[in-house]
Chain A
Amino acid sequence: MITEPIGAAVRRGGGVARVTGDQQFIADIRLDRMLHVKLVHIDCGHARIVSIDTSAAQAARGVVGVFTAADLPSPMPRFGPVYSDRPILAIGATKYHGQPVGAVVAETKEAAEAAAELIRVEHEVLPGVYSIEAALDPKSPLVQEPDLRPDDPRRDTNVLNELHFGWGDVDHAKADIVVDNVYEFPMVTHFAIEPHAFIAAPEDDGVVVWTPTQNPFQMQRIIAQVLGLPVAKVRVRAPDPGGAFGGKQHPKYEPLVALLALRTGRPVRLLLTLEETFQEVRRTSCRIRARTGFQSDGTISFQDIESDFLMGAYADIAERVIAKSNYLACGPYRVPAARVVVRALFSHTTPSTAFRGFGTPQVSWAHESQLDDAAWRSGIDRVEIRLRNLARKGEPFVPGDTPADGDWAESVRKAADAIGWGTPLAKGRGRGLAVAVKASATTGASYSIVRLHWDGSATVLAGTSDMGQGARTVLAQVAAHELGIPVEWVSVVMGDTAAVPFDLQTSASRSTVFMGQAVADACHDIKAQLEQMASELGLEAGVSLVEVLRARFGEVRGEVIGVGSKRSEHLADHPLGGAPSFYEFSCSASEVEVDEGTGDILLVRHVTVADVGKALNPQHVAMQDEGAAVMGLGHTLMEHIVLDDAGRIRNLGALDYRIPTTKDLPLEMHSMTVENADGPGPYGSKGAGEGGLMATAPAVASAVTEATGVVIRDLPLTPERVWTEIQRSRGKDGPTS
């Protein structure tokens, strides 16, 4: 009797190696004759490079080569997931703190470090764009060279794009209550525990690059582009990343190490320090002004939103983050009239990139806090006002697009019950509840090959990256279920472009839905082949899979190869290039106790509810959702990158950039799911894993408001900020009074 794997807490694929230390991350790989790279930085944001003296480093013991822009191809190759704007090394100027101006290649890591110190970079610190105000100020320097976008009328500004979304007539919408507020969301960094690491080596007449990427096939394409090689001559090997969260989605130093490997003819390795990793990736910060109209019963009559999102020095994927999140800037609500204007701004800071939630935590911070403001003003219960406005299942909440695909009110009721909404509160305490919705993958393609071996076991080939979310486990569960074999008989091979078929990327919680369907499809292909074999061999109906294989393959043996795919094509006339294949809906609720003397927030209880359609592995869903909540508590309570006047990150590294520890957990935490099998993925599943952090900040902030009467619209809610706001409001009427 085979245990049904779908819906079971199947243990993590690759789990044993993770608890024994056998799991190989990039930094654990050692190749023969491997060289070591150390990057050379200068200690400021925007600076003109006057000269670089590498002579002492070149002469240092163990040094194989020193590379600066002058040693790289001219014109300097540029790359990026959308715009090819990022140079392999800084040319002429640095545009953010930590942008490398050179790379030392040496026989040992110590020699590379010592030589990097000998490089003299004469530079002139230039005024920089380090804030939204500066980015919008026409007197500020330009971050991007205008000739990189010669046909763009905005080329002489720091605005990459201004996006407009909306419907209905905002200007004539009638409202009894209008709330008009400004919200800020700071820069925060991914802080994957595995710092970014890269290895490249010449292979035949091409190159092989090891990188912990979420996106091996995009990496392959971009490296091939930079090196002028056919895709088949670039092999990307992507061992399971040690945490990624979007930060390992797009190329950073892979083109550089690939080039260095070809130049030196030897394997080269670059391990970034945690500090250097902080300088490479961050969430897009923003300021959102939201003017929201309500009828007296709490029904939303319009949303008028204007925002500025501060990207870094290169576009990376930030414009897409901004577009996708602001497309749903009004949240999961029925909004008769909406106007959303959002600018994507360049700055002399770390290039912002994909980060779990992909902009949703930023926009939900505003739309949820707006609902609370209206609720406080009108005396309507904060849960009630949400239930009144939530789009019902099947209702299009962005006109013309994918309608609401879940019973979202059910999630809200579940969270409200779990947090004890409406029950008496102890002194100094408050509760808050918030929701958020994320547009999932729009376009995309996932291919899978499933090999059913002669003994009835199977190998799944999938281009998905397992960065902790457990795709390896879930894909094995799907294959086991479809083939009717024990999950222990399934191996999943990932992370090698030479071994697995194409997958667009591991992002947007898309893998269970897209790759899950591709794997199921490949299994169906196998089953069709088996049926054909059985009938050709004259076997009775209902004969077991192993018997068919034995009868067909005999002593010569063989295997059945199934091919599956799932594609969603580009739609040119859709604002996002394609309709969301599902929505990731999440509700968070929190109870806090605030120490008014110090501003300290104690999390008494925190709950999350994820509408996942069907939890293929409930334990994995819980660990992802609770993990996301812990990460969300980080940006809610303590995380922010602090810059000085020269664009330097002042809290670089683990000592002063704080993330939650075990002791920062809420006293109680629960994650729950809503499962109505209404998703497009296998067995009615939807994507999961980002939801838990999407509505954390507004839920906690709302609880703080109830506890103290103080409304805070900037993050994080540090003790100091809470205390300061309490001081400021003292003597004034708080919203709860």
Chain B
Amino acid sequence: MRIHVTVNGSEHDVETEANMTLLDFLRDGLRLTGTKECCAVGECGACTVLVDGRAVNSCLMLTAESDGGEVTTIEGLAAGGKLSVLQDAFLASGAVQCGFCIPGQVVAAHHLLARNPHPTLDEVKEGLSGNLCRCGGYMQICAAVVAAGRANR
């Protein structure tokens, strides 16, 4: 089926199979491989993207559902090749270890900050509880998001 979707500001008018997830469309179709696949059941958050401004697990969405919508992936967050305040905070806080979960963490945190610009530590823990990090870097990840929130003031 034919769909029209805007991804990171670029419009795509493409033919897609109904049984293709948004995750596969982004990774295989558009070669936006920053969005990762891990659990494929909506538990790990590695595939988090924004659809119409909301953080979702792209493994649990069919591409067809995004028709007419706007999708933002990790590749869309560093405007003009410059790291966002949030991305920089991840590096400054030592929140990045192996890095596989990080795109999902950053997108989920971006969504959190968009709705709650200055979150408390507990609000960050709640907001990111759907993003697993097996390196266990949660202390630093949460600190990075709180710091980015402070920098936004």
State the A residues within 8 Å of B (CB).
Answer: 9, 11-12, 14-25, 27-28, 30, 190-195, 240-245, 273-274, 467-470, 619-620, 622-624, 626-631, 653-655, 659-663, 665, 669
Contacts and interface: CB of A to CB of B under 8 A. Distances in A.
30 contacts: A11-B91, A15-B99, A18-B99, A19-B90, A19-B102, A21-B75, A193-B44, A194-B98, A194-B100, A241-B98, A242-B36, A242-B99, A242-B100, A242-B101, A243-B98, A243-B100, A243-B134, A245-B134, A274-B40, A468-B135, A469-B97, A622-B140, A631-B136, A654-B43, A660-B138, A661-B132, A662-B124, A662-B128, A662-B142, A665-B138
A654 B75 CA distance: 26
B33 interface: yes
B39 interface: yes
Given A193-B100, A242-B98, A627 B136 contact: yes
B33 A627 contact: no
B94 A19 contact: no
B153 interface: no
Given A11-B92, A18-B96, A662 B138 contact: yes
B39 to A, nearest CB: 4
B144 to A, nearest CB: 10
A20 B98 CA distance: 14
B74 interface: yes
Contact of B129 (A194, A274, A654, A663): A663
B interface, by DSSP: helix, strand, loop or mixed?
loop
A602 B66 CA distance: 41
Nearest to A195: B38
Contacts of A18: 96, 99, 102
B134 A620 contact: no
A245 B98 CA distance: 11
Contact of B74 (A21, A273, A623, A654): A21
A647 to B, nearest CB: 23
A659 B132 contact: yes
Interface residues of B, number: 54
A193 B87 contact: no
Contact of A15 (B39, B91, B134): B91
Interface string B7-51: 000000000000000000001000111111111110110100000
B83 A274 contact: no
B43 A655 contact: yes
B141 interface: yes
B151 interface: no
A141 to B, nearest CB: 34
Given A627-B137, A630-B138, A273 B40 contact: yes
A22 B39 CA distance: 21
B73 A21 contact: yes
Given A19-B90, A19-B99, A627-B137, 9 more contacts: A19-B87, A619-B94, A627-B135, A628-B136, A631-B136, A654-B44, A662-B141, A662-B142, A663-B126
A470 B97 contact: yes
A630 B136 contact: yes
A623 B97 CA distance: 8
B4 interface: no
A193 B134 contact: yes
A654 B36 CA distance: 15
B96 A15 contact: yes
A28 B141 CA distance: 24
A193 B101 contact: yes
Contacts of A27: 33, 36-37
A657 B47 CA distance: 19
A395 to B, nearest CB: 33
Q: Which of B36, B95, B101 has the most C-beta atoms of chain A within 10 angstroms of its own C-beta?
A: B36
Contacts of A622: 94, 140
For the complex of A and B, 9 pairs with smallest distance between CB atoms: A21-B34, A242-B100, A630-B136, A468-B98, A18-B99, A627-B136, A468-B97, A21-B74, A654-B39
Given A241-B98, A245-B134, A623-B97, A16 B91 contact: yes
B78 interface: yes
Contacts of A631: 134, 136
A379 B68 CA distance: 71
A353 to B, nearest CB: 16
Nearest to A660: B136
A661 B94 contact: no
B139 interface: yes
A24 B101 CA distance: 13
B132 A193 contact: yes
Interface in B37-80: 37-41, 43-44, 46, 73-75, 77-78
Contacts of B140: 622-623, 626
Contacts of B78: 19-20
Contacts of B95: 623
Given A12-B91, A655-B43, A629 B136 contact: yes
Contact of B94 (A21, A244, A620, A628): A620
B133 interface: yes
A30 B32 CA distance: 12
Nearest to A668: B139
A556 B31 CA distance: 41
